[in-house]
Structures are given as structure tokens and as C-alpha cells.
Structure 1
Amino acid sequence: MSFVNLVEHDRDIFYQKPYWKEFRFDLTQIPAGESVTAAEFRIYKMRSITRHANKTLHISIYEIVKEHSNRDSDLFLLDLQDLRAGAEGWLVFDVTAASNHWLVDRKYNLGLRLYVETDDGQSVDPSLAGLLGCRGPRSKQPFMVTFFRATQNPTRVTRAVKQLRKRQPKKMNDLPHPNRLPGIFDDIHVTEGRQVCRRHELYVSFQDLGWLDWVIAPQGYSAYYCEGECAFPLDSCMNATNHAILQSLVHLMKPEAVPKACCAPTKLSATSVLYYDSNNNVILKKHRNMVVKSCGCH
């Protein structure tokens, strides 16, 4: 089920930094008794044309836990992404913890807050970073998607899903160092140390394999390998196939019957090897599918 942005608010650029952008969604349409398995916040990013265009940006999304009249709001970190400022496309953030909290009691629904920072901790105005809000084109306005467990009367539209990333609770006053908010989130599960599906370094030495008596060159090459979690919800950056997305959803409902999707190469390239054949002839041959170029969930 999708929800469009109900209220959007920006921190005035003339106020003291850091800059932020807030979003609020009305979740009263969710049928009573439905069990939400995941929720995503999606926002479109255009290419940044500011002086930060060549930098890496750290985009973080928080739940607004409590508002105060004399100081900044208490926040809980839900998800974050690191990307180049020149990147363009939809960004997907996991906000499951916030949606579950809001469904328990709607008075807790104070919305989401988004921050953008550079590597050196400099705050960036989200609009200048290319993040589109309610003033953007209708087809590129931010929205929220919720996923439910299967019921006898399903009323939902499924979309691409996203990999959960490591969450740490933070308070705004302690940025960028995380500190636990006491009490209110003690029952929320936080995934620690999970390694998502990605490419890892692997150098294959022909000398270690004992092949240098017939391989002339090279003496080895970077082959790489794929390893990591393909857990629900799968991120678009994980190159997941449609089959993997559906398999992950089924695994949520029947983990004992259906395994998770597997992390495997999605693109391979060739490597040329100069070697002696069985007749002692020198051969130069390009061998296909020798180097992992990218990984994904299958």
C-alpha cells in the first residue's frame, strides 16, 4: 500500500545548521489487524549541481520521536545511504520500525526527518543535493510503501523492496555520534553487523595453484567473489532479480520451506592468459567469465 506525502517541512535556510527536510504520512488507511512486515520511504534524487557535486553524500532518515518547544526534537535513526552527489534515481530507505511504532499508537506519528552530510560532516541543504519534495514533478514526489503479511483479503500493491541496513538510535543533539534513546524503542529489533550481498576482493595466484610450469603470464589476477545477505527487503542496488524478490517474500512466510535468495555474480568479464599447450606451443587465449564485475541476489 502506497502513501503520498501529507505534510512536508524544511528547516529555514537562514536558521542555524544543520539543514533538514521533514515528511509526514497518514497511515489511517491501513486496515485494522494487518501485520506490517516492512515499510519503505522513497525519494527521488536529481544530479547535484552544487559545489558538492563530486563528493560523497551521507543521507540519513530519522523517526521524530518527540517534539520540544525549547530544543530540537528527539530522533531515532532508521536508515542511511552513502552515494555520490552526481547520482540520480530513486532512493529507498527502510522505515519499518517507525511504521510499526505509529500503528501501535497514531499519536506517535510525528513524521520522518532527512539529513544530508558530506564526508567531513558538513550539512547540505537536501534541495541543493537534488532531493525532490512535494514541489517536484508529480511522478517523482516522495512517498511511503508498506508491505503486509498474506491475509485472506489482501489489499495491497507490491513494489520493489529494499535491504535492511544497520540501524543505530541517535539523538539530534549528539550528531554524528549515536546514543541510545531509553525505553521507547527497547522492543525494536536492531540488525547489527549484517553484511549485505556485495563483491569482495580475491586474488588468484597461479604460483599458489602450481600452474606456473605451463602459464607464462599473468602470474595471477583479481577474480573477486560474491558473498553476503540477501534478506528482505532487497535493495535496488543489490541487483536483485524479480524471482529473488518474490523468493524473499515467500521466505518471510515459510522460512522452513523456502530459503533466502543467494548472493551470486550478475556480470563477469574475460581475462587473457598466455600459456603452453600440450604440444608446447605458446597460446594466447581470452577465457570468458573469469572476473566478477558485479554481484546480486538470485
Structure 2
Amino acid sequence: MRFYKHIMQSSCWGVRCAALCLSFLFITGVQLRPLGEQEKRMQLEAVKRGILDRLGLHRPPVIREKLNQDEVRNMYLLYQEKLTELRGNMSKEESPQRIVHLLTPKLERNTMSKRKCEKQGNNNHIYHLVFSRTHTFHQELSVMRAELKLCKDILAALRSSWTDSTAQAMVNIYKVVKSSETNGEEEHKLLDSKPIDKETLTLNVESAVQQWVSSSEKCLRLALVIPLDIPFASDGSKQTEGDDALILEVETQEKVHSSSRKARALPADEECKKSEKKCCRKSLSVSFKEIGWSDWIIAPESYTMHFCVGSCPHNYKAASMHTQIKSRMHHISNGATPAPCCVPASYEPMVLMHYNTEGKLTLSPFEDLIVRKCHCA
């Protein structure tokens, strides 16, 4: 009982209770030894009680009349769809987070030579858009999408100012690069070209932004060629027509390294070794037939439940910076501050197809039952 009270008083207990019916498992499964029959029965009783509590049942329902095979078969299809949906959601959560950056440019007057300017058309005006790097743009980002957006006011002005009925008004965007020629002139590489016949207009500049993000260049320089004279502040510090007249919208995500992919793909590496005493994942097989529930739980027939056991020495599998500080405080305070606990880091979803108290076949998702990985928190 002293050990049980010590756990109840620990600050880690709240985290442990988040995992379904793991309280008994932590008490009875601390020692890494072959399970005795009595210990396994205690663990299975904890599992049974936890599942009944989650389903809002005091005892297993009494099934008086089962559904016919066609009804069961249709429910199986729904069961597979729900399980696929939950696993898809889990994959999305594990994917690197995507962030959308909104950048506004500084506008500079055209520096092209008159000859190059004439090649763009007599009615065209050329502006340099200078985007500055922010602290969120680092070299470990992958650019998923990068679009330069023109606001509706500019597009309306473009359409109203275009008087040439024989040609279609176009908006072009170029990447400005240094020339290898000795004359020092800049080169302009076309990135995208769109007509101004729509209410919204976006120009694809993904290739240029990707190169910029992965480089050490402080600024990205683009050249916008449009048949409209855009007024702007004399110092060129701001756009006109409002701060959102021209917006560079960039969607990025962190690059996924092969080691991270391997860690997610091989959760079995978390399994406890025979001599392992540090935080790891221990397994418990649950067969609904063996525990006498196969009459009301149709699928799955069995599953492997994992739980987290073991010690958390300093900086071992630390879940966060907070965990590292907590571990250091534990040592400094000679145990007055609780040490980090070995707890679940992620879960595998499971769906129960079962009869309810009304004799109807139903689906109950469990998203926090099967532990995939453990860490110290």
C-alpha cells in the first residue's frame, strides 16, 4: 500500500491516468520478469474494467438475439472504414507541421535597360519586389507552396486600364539573378505568366522561394511586369493600395530526416529487453475469447496492449525541455521534486465492434489504448 500511495502522491500520476486502465499495470508490471498467472489475471481484470468503464457499462451486456450475417457483414465494412480513418488521422498528426508565412515586399522602380523594357511591351511597367528573410525562414524548411497574390483592387485597375483589344493583358513574374556576363546586368528568369481576366490572380514562385530558403541569401528579388503604373511611397518602403496589395504566401514544413522516419516506422524498437530497466514498452496480449467476451465483442478478436515501465535517468528519452529541467531539479533537491515518469508518447487507434445493452451492433473508437512509444515526462 505504501508504494500505491507514493504513486498517487506523485505529480506523474495525472499523466499516467491518461492511458486507459494502466494504473494496475504500472503497479503490477514494474519488475521486468515473466508474468505469473496471478499477475496476468490482475492485469486482464484491469483491462476489462477499463473497457467497460469507457463504454459506460457496469457489466458485459447479455446478448439475446444476434444479427444475421448480412447485417454483420455491412457493419464490418463500416468497422474497416472507421479504423482506416483513425489511422489516417494519426499519420497526419505525425507528419511535420505545415506553416503558412505571409510576406509583403518592398517595391523598387525598374532597373532594366530601356531595350529590355521595350521587349516586355510598351504599356508594361516593371517593378522589383524585394522580400527580406525572417527568423522563421531557415534552411531546414521544405517549401510546399509559394504564390504571389495580387489583390482585387490591383486586378480591377489592370482590367480597366487595358485598352488594347487585340491582345490579352498578361501579368508576368521573374526571378532576378546576377548575370555571369561582365557588363554586370541582371538576368530575369520567367517563373509564371497569367492573364488578368479573373477576379483573383496567383503567380507560382515556388522554385525561386525554395532556392532562397535553402540558401544563405538575405533577400529574394522578383520582377513583376504588369500593364499598370502602381504608385508607391517615394522611399519605396511600402506598397500601395493597402499593405496587402501584393502578398507572397509560402507554405512550409520541417524536413523529415531518415532517422525520424525510421523511429516512427519501427515502434517495435521500443520493446523492453530482458535486462532493460530504463523506460521502455512492455506488452500484454488480450484475447476477447480467452476472457469470455467473444459473444458480445465481434472485432477485433484480440489485440496487443502495450504499457510503459522503467526508470527515467537524467536526459533519458526526455519528452521536452521541461522534462530535462524537472530531472535536474529532482537531483538538486535530493528527491524532493518528483523525477520524470515513463509514460506513453503516442498511441495506435483501435475500434471495437460490439453489441450494446440494447442488442444493437455498434462501433466504439479507442484512440488512447494501445501504446506505440514511451518517453519520460
Higher-strand-fraction structure:
1
TM-score (normalised: structure 2): 0.26
When you count helix as a share of all residues, which structure comes out higher?
2
Output the TM-score relative to the length of structure 1: 0.33
